[in-house]
Amino acid sequence: MLLALLLCYGGFTALCLSMDRHHADLLGRKPTARRRQVMRVGGWLLLTLSLWAGVSANGWGLGLVEWFAVLMLSALLLVLLLPYRPRLALSLAALGLIASPVCAVLT
């Protein structure tokens, strides 16, 4: 489930960065329309990949339940980090996306 958690957190962070306000807060500038669209598509793609990772690890019955738990945990972590430690939130997403291929190979 670590892979699903890493992908969910990265997906939510990408969706967060597709919004003008959060993009400006985290990166210091407003996103272009193209970048906003890429972030939105990338975020949904990462969330879909996290669903695949959760279901492939444990089947549809338990995998779906664990995926919803991972969704809530990653969203809560992002919501709690954004107002107080925005750079840490962005760094964790980058680290998670770098570590996710390693986690996929190990599972």
pLDDT, one tens digit per residue, over 46-95 is 999 999 999 998 899 999 999 999 999 999 999 999 999 999 999 999 99
Q: How many C-beta atoms surround the C-beta of residue 13 within 10 A?
A: 28
- Burial string for 55-87 (b: 16+ CB within 10 Å, else e) reads bebbeeeebeebbeebbeebbebbeebbeeeee
Return the HEC string of 39-66.
HHHHHHHHHHHHHHHHHHHHHHHHHHHH
Q: Name the residue with tokens 């597709």.
A: 18
pLDDT at 57: 87
3-state secondary structure of 104: helix
pLDDT at 19: 93
pLDDT at 80: 95
User: Could you tell me if residue 77 is inside a domain?
Assistant: yes
pLDDT at 106: 85
Q: Inform me whether the pLDDT recorded for 107 exceeds 80.
A: no
pLDDT at 2: 92
pLDDT, one tens digit per residue, over 2-19 is 999 999 999 999 999 999
Nearest to 43 by CA among 55, 31, 57: 31
User: Could you tell me if residue 38 is inside a domain?
Assistant: yes
User: Could you tell me if residue 107 is inside a domain?
Assistant: no
Q: How far apart are CA 13 and CA 27, in angstroms?
A: 12
Q: Indicate the pLDDT class of residue 36, thresholds 50, 70 and 90.
A: very high
Query: What radius of gyration, in Å, describes the C-alpha atoms of the chain?
Result: 14
* Segments forming the whole domain that contains residue 18: 2-102
Q: How far apart are CA 99 and CA 82, in angstroms?
A: 21
User: Could you tell me if residue 57 is inside a domain?
Assistant: yes
Please tell me the total count of domains within the chain: 1
pLDDT at 68: 95
